[in-house]
Structure 1
Amino acid sequence: MRLTTKTNLALRTLMFCAVNKDILVRKQDAAKAINASENHLAQVINKLSQEGFITTLRGRHGGFHLARAADVISVGAVFRAFESGLPFIECFSDKNTCPLKAHCGVRPHLSRAVDSFYSALDELYLNELVSCNSGLEALLSISGPRAPAKCAVQPAPQLAAE
């Protein structure tokens, strides 16, 4: 599975906004911080605004910021907004021309796998990506490094052994 560049930039843009939560950020600043072209980022900002993730202000002193708190923005919702219109495989498309479609049993399994992918990301919120992440803050903060936040030490997630 491979995510589109727009989805990748959308998540980076939201993290940029979350790190700079009290600032109306400019497209130029975001593009520089997340290594994106301003033209490509403009399309992403437009979609994020249409989907209600950010609020934009046009004009000379314009910019954008999160429309909701970072702790209610699910990464799964962001990915769905950018990826759900794109079929994962041809058999998910209205234009399915696969000669095996009448007899192939892989579609329901792939459908469950894609649903599981989004469900796993539904449990991850934007604030979890930026909170207590001094390295990310150093990379994305417009105003420079801040005093370190007091963070509760949390154990690293355990991955299942294969």
Structure 2
Amino acid sequence: MRLTRYTDYGLRILIYLSLKPDGLSTVPEIAGCYGISEHHLTKIVGELAHLGHIRTVRGRNGGFELIQKPQEINIGRLVRALEDNFDLVECFQASGNTCPLTACCPLGGILGEAMNAFLLVLERYTLADIIVPASPMARALNLGVPSLSP
């Protein structure tokens, strides 16, 4: 089971927004923090807004912010929404399957069961479960959380 960068970056955006105390964030800000492409993030921000997780504000002082509480964002449902393809093997494909074993091979069923188990585990967690404890993650992202050491 492997998630795409799209989903990985979507999770990272939501983690960042959950840890940032106040104010709007921007694509360049988050891209710089993670060292990833602004182009990729722009598309994902649009999708997260479409899904209702963030609010975008246009204009000179625009940006985006989390509008759902972290405990309301289910990781499994988010992964299902962001991933465009769960075809682990060719026989999972609705079209283009050329495997001659599809009709008689149990592997497809076994892998399907494994994929469902993977997603069911993710559905047991929310964004709030990921960001606890928040301060080490916030410090790693330079979000201004004071150091606990003297």
Aligned to 1:100: 101
Q: Distance in 2 between matches of 1:133 and 1:48?
A: 21
Aligned to 1:61: 61
Indicate conservation of the 8 Å contact 2:70/2:127, yes or no.
Answer: yes
Q: Distance in 2 between matches of 1:89 and 1:12?
A: 27
Question: Percent of aligned pairs with the same residue?
Answer: 33
Amino acid at match of 2:104: H
Kindly report the root-mean-square deviation, in angstroms, between the aligned alpha carbons of the 2 structures.
1.7
Q: Deviations over 1:18-65 (max 9, x none)?
A: 001432111111111122110011111111112222111122111111
Q: Distance in 1 between matches of 2:121 and 2:129?
A: 14
- 1:128 equivalent to 2:129? Answer yes
- 1:79 equivalent to 2:79? Answer yes
Structure 1 residue 84: Cα displacement: 4.7
Structure 1 residue 147: Cα displacement: 7.4
**Normalising by structure 1, what TM-score?**
0.82
Amino acid at match of 1:97: T
Alpha-carbon distance change, 88 to 53 in structure 1, aligned in 2, over 3 angstroms: farther
Q: Distance in 1 between matches of 2:90 and 2:50?
A: 27
Structure 1 residue 146: Cα displacement: 4.0
Aligned to 2:26: 26
Q: Distance in 2 between matches of 1:84 and 1:114?
A: 14
Aligned to 1:137: 138
Amino acid at match of 2:42: A
Unaligned runs of 5+ in 1: 149-162
Unaligned runs of 5+ in 2: none
Q: Distance in 2 between matches of 1:141 and 1:69?
A: 22
Amino acid at match of 1:92: F
Give the SS at the match of 1:65: strand
Aligned to 1:46: 46
Q: Distance in 1 between matches of 2:88 and 2:50?
A: 23
Q: Distance in 1 between matches of 2:49 and 2:101?
A: 40
Amino acid at match of 2:129: E
Amino acid at match of 1:102: A
Structure 1 residue 141: Cα displacement: 4.7
Indicate conservation of the 8 Å contact 1:73/1:125, yes or no.
Answer: yes
